[in-house]
Every structure is written in C-alpha cells, then in structure tokens.
Amino acid sequence: MKPWFFFLFLIIVGCGHRAPKKPISGRITDSAMVVSAHPLASRIGVGILRRGGNAVDAAIATQFALAVVYPSAGNIGGGGFMVLRLKDGTATTLDYRERAPAAASDTMYLDENGDAIPALSERGHLASGVPGTVAGLVEAHSKYGSMSWAELVQPAIDIALNGFVLTQKEAENLNEIQDDLKDLNSVLPEFLINEVWKAGDSIRYTDLGHTLERIRDHGAAGFYEGKTADDIVAEMRRGNGIITSEDLRSYKVAWRDPLFFTYKDYTVISMGPPSSGGVALAQLLRSVERYPLNEWGHNTARSVHLLTEAERRAYADRSHYLGDSDFVQVPVENLLSPLYLSERMKNFNAEKATPSHEIKAGPITFHESKETTHLSIVDSQGSAVAVTTTLNDSFGSRVVVAGSGFFLNDEMDDFSIKPGVPNMYGAIGGEANKIEPGKRMLSSMTPSIVTRNGKLFMVVGTPGGTTIITSVFQTILNVIEHKMTMQEAVEAKRVHSQWLPDSLYVETGALLVDDSISLSLMGHAIRTRDAIGRVDAILITPDGKLEGGADPRGDDTADGY
C-alpha cells in the first residue's frame, strides 16, 4: 500500500455524518428529572423526588446507588464536586475531592535515579488518596437536605444486600478487571471473581451493604471511624499503602465560591480550583465567543480547527497555573480576563495548526490574593444540582477494601508525580500540582449549570479524564450555537485536543471525509478513538419542560415525572 493511500485510509476511517438529520428528543418531563450513569440509580433519585425530596436529597441517594450498581466510577472510596443552584438563584459549590495522605511526598513515585514510576500512582494501595465522598454527602445533607439521612441511604443498602442484575456494559467492565482483582488485592474479593460475567447475571455486594448501614446509622463516623476506617487502615498495611486512621479522621470538605462567567447572554456556574474544569471551560467559551460557529457548522474543518486551537492554549495554562488553591496561588481572574484571552488567541491562524511545542502558558503577573461519573438533577421547585464524582481510572486502584467491600480510588495519579511527566490521561503537570501532604489533586471535573436571563437553562457534566472539559464545552456549544436538542447535543460525535500530546482525537464518524482531509492539510495530527465522554444533561425547554439528554455511550438514563 502506498504511503499516501494509507494516510488517506486512516483519515476516512474516522469519518461519517456531521449531525443527525432528524431531531432526536430525549426524555421530556414536566416537573423533575434525574440523569445518571445507570437506570437503577436514576430511578432511585426520581423516587426521592416523588416523595418530596429536593435536588440535593436526590443527588445523595443517586450517588450512593451508583456506588453499588456502577462501581467502576460511582463510589464511596473516591471524591467529587457538587455545583448547586437553589430555586431562588443563589449558588454554591462543594469540594469533596480526595486529599494526599500525611505521609505523601513529591518523590514517592520516583526511583533512586529520580525517574517516575507511573504504575505506582495508577494501581494498587499506594495510588489512593484519602476518600471524600461520604464526608461530602453528609455535609450537603446537613446544609440542604430535607429528608432524613437514613431515607436517602437505604435504597442503596437494599440493592447491595438483595442484589441486582448486571447490564451488558457492567458485565464487560467486570470481565476486564479480573486479572487486576487477583493481582492487586491483599484479600481476594471472591464476590467479584467469575470466569465470565454476562448480562443478566445477578450480583450482591454484601460487605458494601453493611458498610452503607454503618454510614446510614452513624453518618460520616460510619466511614471515617469504627469498623470501616479500621478496614481501610488494615488494607493499607497489607498492601504497603500510606493512608492512616488520622488521615481519615482529619478529612474535611470545603464549601467554595462558584466560578461565574458569561458566554454571550448566558451565565455559566461551574467549579473552581482544585478543579481545572471551570477555569478551562470559561477560557474555551470566551476564546471562541466572537467567531460565527453557528454559520460554520458542527464539526466542520473550520469549527474543529478553532476549537482545537483554543483547547491547546487552555490546556497549556492548565498545566502551568492550576492546582489546589489552598496550597498555591491560582490566578483565576487573570486567566479569564478578556485582554489575556485576546492575547492568547492573537496568533491563531485560521488556515494552519499551531504546533503544540510552540505554545506555552501565557505570561501572568499575580495580582490576586478517566473513570468518573456525572449526574444532573432538577427538582420540582427549580433547584438544580450538578455532581461529578470519581475514582479516577475505571474501578480506581482496583483495590477492594476487605471486610467493607468497596473500591479505593487511584487519584494520586492526578498529581504531577514529576513535573513534565504525563499522567494516565496524557496530561502534563507542573509545580502547582506537585504532591504535598493534605493537598487536593488537580481535577478536570466540570459539573456546570447554565442560566439565561436569570432562569435555569441547562445542567451538564460528564466523566472522561481530561476529555471532560472539552465534552462539556462542545455540549454547551451544540445547544447554543448549533441549535440541537439536549439529546442531540449529548449524542453528537465529539473531538478532543489537550495541548500535549500534539494530536486531534476524533470519535469514529465525527468528521466528514473532506473536513478530515482539510484538517490534516492544516497540520492537525488526527487520531481516531472510541467514545469521548458520557454526558448527562438537562435542558429547560422554552415551554418550561425538562429534556434529559442521557449519553448512549453508556447505560446512562434520564428519568423523571
């Protein structure tokens, strides 16, 4: 095969239709809605809403349910972020991201020569940060919950103890980790071991069910103290991990000011540091705001080129400036200023890709003091919650806490284990995100709420590692600029670029042949890949109804009434 023919073949493989020819409607409801990664979890959340619970109540019940039915990302052994907008328009954000244990150091994943050992931060006991999910849900309930705590935890307990039926995707997920379960666990989690899991198989999480009972009866103490904490510490000792009982007892969540920014006549409410998501999303939307994307069309060469160039610059800034604002000075105001962003896009060439090695973080003077899951909820009063929660990689560290039955995260890989060394998602980190005891690792999670003229417009978020930011970015543009329905916007094929590596990733079928060739001739290194993101979102339609967009890339389900 001649080289030019092979090159053309690679381009054509990733090509397809630009957008659905006929509008695709998602689930439409009148009053309330939950969109999450699993049908059972969505059903439980809606059940809470029907019983008079509010959006926070439903979010808590849905998250605990996901810890059972979607253990690859739903969790009590990880952490996350919550963005909340109340019916009166007030907004806040809750940070329950994992923290580095007290014994952590910036050399803990380096060998004697100072070279990084990535496997240590990706798998096994040493990869885990101190979990924050349970503390976060308890805190959210204490401030905004309306139903009793026990009522919100009980549905997940019932599923864990009585068992449930696996979907095809969940069976496949369990099959993929069988070797790791055997190799990485100090005590074999026999309830997860099977020669071949199949759709329709039943599974029970008995130990997890009893752990949830302790959380139901004792709140945060049911996790951070007593038997569950003892099980975590014993697990760490057997596997040479470093989380201690003091790390667990001293874990604290943080209420943080939301990040507000505008895009045309829309206002976006998102998460600030230690999430990079809100800052990067704001940079992206503001960088493309003055260009006529609606005229250029969805996933055309012209549009994709612009998005990619903006993404390269935003991810370069992310690498250099962003980290836990409790430990480093993050110049949010500077990064989002119109003058700064205008300067960043000044060398944008509409006809040619900018090589990533020519892009650095912008100059700033300081003046101001992959597996994840998302759920979107709107209650009947108009309050909205966007939650993204994670173990990091699918099933986290692959370590199950013996006696308590849940997976621990591998979030330590989200730190810069060494400046300039990419993590498992290819993201390059710098000094701002180095490992320090008690520090929260940088995240890409981007739970967001969009309003228009003071009224709720959209609730949106997704899993996907570093692709989270670009997936949310494109979903918002799909609705606002390309006039898609919520379900169309969620289903539309996505593209992704993140500065380094210097590649433009496209889902198979995302681009037409002519557009792929044009982008390649501009200098973009196109790489086809499987699903990018799993967006779960809710749109408030002009007549006041709720349209749920549930991503078909997973078992995601919109439910409501």
N residues, the chain:
561
Q: CB of 42 within 8 A of CB of 360? A: no
Residue 26 in contact with residue 548, Cβ under 8 Å? yes
Angle between helices 149-162 and 206-218 (to 10 degrees): 170
The helix or strand, by DSSP H or E, that contains position 550, with its residue range, turns out to be: strand 546-550
- Contact indicator for 413, 478 with CB cutoff of 8 Å: no
Question: How many other C-beta atoms lie within 10 A of the C-beta of residue 318?
Answer: 30
Dist. CA 174–CA 177, nearest whole Å: 6
**Cβ neighbourhood burial of 257 (10 Å; 0-12, 13-18, 19+):** exposed
CA dihedral sign, ordered 503, 504, 509, 513: negative
Taking the CA atoms of 286, 290, 291 and 292 in sequence, report the sign of the dihedral they define.
Answer: positive
Does 372 participate in catalysis according to the annotation? yes
Tokens of 324: 């836990």
User: Radius of gyration of the chain from Cα atoms?
Assistant: 22
Calpha distance 236→216 (Å, rounded): 24
CA pair distance 82, 96, nearest whole angstrom? 8
Q: Which amino acid, one-letter code, is at 381?
A: Q
Please identify which of the residues 372, 373, 446, 475 carries the catalytic annotation: 372
Closest of 133, 186, 146 to residue 409, by C-alpha? 133
Alpha helix stretches (DSSP H) within 263-412 = 277-288, 293-296, 301-321, 332-335, 338-344
Residue 208, number of CB atoms within 10 A of its CB = 26
Q: Which residues are catalytic?
A: 372
